[in-house]
């Protein structure tokens, strides 16, 4: 059953189009790892899905409801959360304020206490401004902020960026936990290990379109295709 259904999605910026007709399906509770070289439009795709880049053409259906062209705050309240590249926490606000702000919009399974049980490090840092947390803590905070909006779909844009391998493993654990709660995941990654660890399927983007999509295990075995599409072994 298709939960997220993207058809012919075209978007971009003033200087030109970046997405040239994306078709993408994601089952409820599914997890897709989206790979691709720098500049092929992966971030633009998640930003467009979150409503932060305007849609020129195409539809984005979430559980049958068309979200294309909606305001970002409406899309968020429809159950789509974004963990942006570079984390983008509110530097002057404390951890507690982040959690309170995020949990105020959409009630559901995830509560502040539940998220702090999952991420105890954030509990220790409740009173600290987010700008003074380490990179790993900021990433956990960005994920906590997304979870507290009680999303049905989480878009993660390179959550491993700039993190130590041990911290990337923790990010993988948290993503696995949110999947267990039935949240669908679209993960943009350069780190193949993280993508392989959490995604059922791998898709590859090139020049604004999806060019390849297979189950994760098939992708891992098919080194020739990976080499051709990504330039990696």
Partner 1 sequence: MTAVETRTPAPDAPAEPSGLRRGLPRIIAVVVLVVLAAAPLFLAPFATTTLTRIVVFALFAVSLDLLVGVTGLPSLGHAAYFGAGAYAAGWVSINVTAEAPVPLLVGAATGAVAAALTGWITVRTGGVFFLMLTLAIGETVQQLANTWEDATGGANGLTGVPSVRIGGEPLVNAGLLYWYVLAVGVLGFVLVWLVARSPWGAALRGIRDNEPRMRAVGYPTAVYKYAVFVLAGSVAGVAGSLLAAQQRLVTPADLSFLTSSFALLAVVIGGAGSLWGACLGAAVVVLVRETLGASLDGHGPLVLGLVFVLVVYLLPRGAAGLRRPRREPGRSP
Of residues 92-111, those binding partner 1 (CB under 8 A): 92-93, 97, 100-102, 104-106
Q: Which residues lie below 8 Å from residue 79, measured CB to CB, with a gap of 6+?
A: 62, 106, 149, 150, 151, 152, 153
Q: How far apart are CA 74 and CA 67, in angstroms?
A: 8
Least separation in angstroms between CB 182 and partner 1: 14
Determine, following the binding rule CB under 8 A, whether residue 70 of this chain makes contact with partner 1: no
Only one of the segments 10-18, 172-180, 198-206, 218-226 lies at the binding site for partner 1 (rule: CB under 8 A); that segment is 172-180
Which residue of 70, 129, 161, 190 would you call a contact of partner 1, by CB under 8 A? 129
Determine, following the binding rule CB under 8 A, whether residue 192 of this chain makes contact with partner 1: no
Residue 15 belongs to what H/E stretch?
none
Indicate the DSSP class of residue 131.
G
Of residues 37-66, those binding partner 1 (CB under 8 A): 50-52
Determine, following the binding rule CB under 8 A, whether residue 145 of this chain makes contact with partner 1: yes
Identify which of residues 174 and 199 has a Cβ nearer to partner 1 in the complex: 174
Least separation in angstroms between CB 91 and partner 1: 5
Contact 20, 208 (CB under 8 A): yes
Contact 26, 153 (CB under 8 A): yes
Identify which of residues 8 and 92 has a Cβ nearer to partner 1 in the complex: 92
Identify which of residues 120 and 182 has a Cβ nearer to partner 1 in the complex: 120
Determine, following the binding rule CB under 8 A, whether residue 174 of this chain makes contact with partner 1: yes
Tell me the helices (H) and strands (E) count for the chain, helix number first: 10, 10
In which order are the strands placed within the sheet that holds 2-13? 16-27, 2-13, 55-62, 65-66
Q: How far apart are CA 169 and CA 197, in angstroms?
A: 9
Helix or strand or coil: residue 208? coil
Binding residues vs partner 1 (CB under 8 A): 50-52, 71-73, 76-77, 81-82, 84, 86-93, 97, 100-102, 104-106, 114, 117-121, 125, 127-138, 140, 145, 149, 164, 166-167, 170, 173-174, 176-177
């Amino acid at each position: 059953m298709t939960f997220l259904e993207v058809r012919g999605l075209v978007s971009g910026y003033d200087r030109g189009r970046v997405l040239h007709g994306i078709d993408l399906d994601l089952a409820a509770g599914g997890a897709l790892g989206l790979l691709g070289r720098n500049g092929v439009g992966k971030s633009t795709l998640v930003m467009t899905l979150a409503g932060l880049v305007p849609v020129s053409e195409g539809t984005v259906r979430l559980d049958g409801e068309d979200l294309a062209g909606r305001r970002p705050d409406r899309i968020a309240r429809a159950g789509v959360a974004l963990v942006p590249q570079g984390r983008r926490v509110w530097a002057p606000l404390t951890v507690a304020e982040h959690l309170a702000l995020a949990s105020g919009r959409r009630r559901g399974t995830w509560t502040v206490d539940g998220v702090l049980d999952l991420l105890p490090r954030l509990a220790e840092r409740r009173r600290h401004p987010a700008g003074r947390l380490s990179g790993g803590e900021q990433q956990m905070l960005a994920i906590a902020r997304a979870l507290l909006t009680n999303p049905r779909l989480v878009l993660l844009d390179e959550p491993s960026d700039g993190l130590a391998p041990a911290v990337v493993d923790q990010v993988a654990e948290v993503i696995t936990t949110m999947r267990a709660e039935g949240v669908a995941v679209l993960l943009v990654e350069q780190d193949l290990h993280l993508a392989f660890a959490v995604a059922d399927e791998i898709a590859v983007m090139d020049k604004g379109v999806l060019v390849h999509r297979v189950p994760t295990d098939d992708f891992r075995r098919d080194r020739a295709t990976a080499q051709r599409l990504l330039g990696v072994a």
